[in-house]
Amino acid sequence: MTRKFFGTDGIRGTTNIEPMTAETALRVGQAAGAHFLRGDHRHRVVIGKDTRLSGYMMESAMVAGFTSVGMDVVLLGPMPTPAVAMLTRSMRADLGVMISASHNPFADNGIKLFGPDGYKLSDAAERDIEKRLEKEPRLAKSAQIGRARRIDDARGRYIQFAKDTFPEHLRLDGLKVVVDCANGAAYHVAPEALWELGAEVIPLGVSPDGMNINKDCGSTHPELLQQTVVASGADIGLALDGDADRLIVVDEQGRLIDGDQLMALIALGLQARGELRGNAVVATVMSNLGLERKLGDAGLKLVRTAVGDRYVLEEMRKSGCNVGGEQSGHIILADHATTGDGLVAGLQVLAALVEAKAPASRLLRQFEPLPQILKNVRFNGGSEPLEADSVRKRIAAAEAELEGKGRLVIRKSGTEPLIRVMAQGDDPALVERVVDDICEAVRTAA
């Protein structure tokens, strides 16, 4: 069955254009609610959101959908995606919902669903919900319609959860940390957690207005963070995205540290303490060969998956690994969380910095990455440029050129009409040329 609504990370699109309309959000609430109506207990769904203007509309529509089929709703307000996953489990809910388009611009929004265990739904569960979307919902009887209520202490619960992942014997006293919250879901909780642990905090991106989420800030636009870290003499900078499930770090010299370097740091630290499980790290096909070689030197494997933190997590659960993630900054630490958590990952980085008593520039640069280029080519949403003969031939030629010298990954975005072209290898000129050639072939075919 071809999925009409769900992509690599839930449902996502431009608001007030299908599938991201209030009507569809209501129907998703009804379909997802019906999927989880099991047993004779009072059913409950937890809903969080980021700071987008459209969050009010989508939240209200989903409340109507869930309550109409008999589910009670607990509203968290603006909260990080990992907080929703954690509170879904903590509150014994049947389902968790995060209304967010993550790192996308404010005009987009999305719906991410979590099961009662706090994990994102499987493909099979999403397919069942899609089938239900095609049918008329079975509405609850009048006396069984659900109720909705807001809880006021959700932020405090999540801050305490995040702090509990930080080693008890350490504090952040004397550490100056710049944290960029992308004007998104973590704008309150991230600076507060760092301050409570003793850090001197310089907050950025903490004035959301509904339309400035991810705008020139956060993990996808770290320039202001880099400038602020250097100008303020900070020890380190942390950048989250709109829903705070990813992390990018800036060292004291203003240099970017991506998810591959962070995974190496965390995994090797756990290995040294005898706490790394599975003798491996799980990452996607986009991670740099330098990470694979660094782990190999330490006797560890790099297990690769398709792009998407849900696929990383599925492999982690299958292989028993407790560290995984994506180069883009989704870091999953299974000892603490069921999904990527930018704040929790950041706290592990800060703990390593405190213990090492070394500058971030020396500690965080775990390996020298191979030259890598990623370019995106936008195309007409109705076309399939990767199926064109001219594109296939160009890809085959590039793979032959890179054989034994590097890697090539071509994929269609699951959230936008983009073809992503990535190559990495020892020869930077070759890497750049093959990427440019394929991008041009895609543009011509599209």
pLDDT band for 2, please (50, 70, 90 cuts).
Answer: low
Classify residue 130: in a domain, yes or no: yes
- pLDDT at residue 416 greater than cutoff 90: no
Average pLDDT over residues 193-200: 98
Q: Where are the beta strands (DSSP E) in 280-360?
A: 280-284, 301-305, 323-325, 331-333
pLDDT band for 382, please (50, 70, 90 cuts).
Answer: low
- What CATH number is attached to the domain comprising 394? 3.30.310.50
Same domain, residue pair 42 and 123: yes
Same domain, residue pair 411 and 310: no
Which pLDDT score, from 0 to 100, does residue 1 have?
A: 46
pLDDT band for 6, please (50, 70, 90 cuts).
Answer: confident
Same domain, residue pair 331 and 402: no
- Please choose, from the candidates 187, 208, 238, 236, the residue with its C-alpha nearest in 3D space to the C-alpha of residue 83: 187
Whether the Cβ atoms of residue 48 and residue 98 lie closer than 8 Å to each other: yes
Same domain, residue pair 337 and 404: no
- What CATH number is attached to the domain comprising 90? 3.40.120.10
Same domain, residue pair 338 and 390: no
Share above pLDDT 70 across residues of the chain, in percent, rounded to a whole number? 98
**Tell me, what amino acid is at 179?**
V
Share above pLDDT 90 across residues of the chain, in percent, rounded to a whole number? 89
SS3 call for 71: coil
Same domain, residue pair 340 and 377: no
- Please choose, from the candidates 328, 301, 327, the residue with its C-alpha nearest in 3D space to the C-alpha of residue 316: 301
- pLDDT at residue 70 greater than cutoff 80: yes
Cα distance between residue 215 and residue 209, in whole Å: 11
Classify residue 244: in a domain, yes or no: no
Which tens digit of pLDDT belongs to each residue from 225-239? 999 999 999 999 999
Classify residue 110: in a domain, yes or no: yes
Same domain, residue pair 305 and 380: no
Same domain, residue pair 303 and 376: no
Task: Give the H/E segment covering residue 127.
Answer: helix 123-133
Cα distance between residue 172 and residue 197, in whole Å: 6
Same domain, residue pair 326 and 378: no
Cα distance between residue 238 and residue 236, in whole Å: 7
420: Cβ–Cβ under 8 A, 6 or more apart, which residues?
A: 374, 375, 376, 409, 410, 411, 412, 413
Average pLDDT over residues 318-340: 96
- Please choose, from the candidates 258, 267, 263, the residue with its C-alpha nearest in 3D space to the C-alpha of residue 239: 258
Quote the pTM value: 0.90
Cα distance between residue 3 and residue 129, in whole Å: 10
Which tens digit of pLDDT belongs to each residue from 146-177? 999 999 999 999 999 999 999 999 999 999 99
Which tens digit of pLDDT belongs to each residue from 42-58? 999 999 999 999 999 99
Lookup result for tokens 């990080």: 80
Sheet-wide strand order for 406-412: 372-378, 418-425, 406-412
Classify residue 21: in a domain, yes or no: yes
Same domain, residue pair 411 and 338: no
Same domain, residue pair 398 and 339: no
Classify residue 235: in a domain, yes or no: no
Number of structural domains the chain divides into: 3
Which pLDDT score, from 0 to 100, does residue 8 have?
A: 72
Which pLDDT score, from 0 to 100, does residue 445 have?
A: 85
Which pLDDT score, from 0 to 100, does residue 278 have?
A: 97
Cα distance between residue 8 and residue 355, in whole Å: 37
Looking only at the bridges linking them, the beta strands covering 176-180 and 236-240 are parallel
SS3 call for 315: helix
Classify residue 32: in a domain, yes or no: yes
Which tens digit of pLDDT belongs to each residue from 257-316? 999 999 999 999 999 999 999 999 999 999 999 999 999 999 999 999 998 888 999 999
Classify residue 115: in a domain, yes or no: yes
228: Cβ–Cβ under 8 A, 6 or more apart, which residues?
A: 178, 202, 204, 234, 237
For residue 293, the number of C-alpha atoms closer than 13 Å in the C-beta half-sphere is: 11
Cα distance between residue 332 and residue 344, in whole Å: 9
- pLDDT at residue 341 greater than cutoff 90: yes
Catalytic residues: 102
Cα distance between residue 136 and residue 134, in whole Å: 7
Domain boundary among 152, 186, 219: 152
- Please choose, from the candidates 55, 81, 86, 61, the residue with its C-alpha nearest in 3D space to the C-alpha of residue 73: 61
Cα distance between residue 303 and residue 292, in whole Å: 9
Boundaries of domain holding 268: 259-344
Cα distance between residue 408 and residue 424, in whole Å: 7
Domain boundary among 152, 185, 207: 152
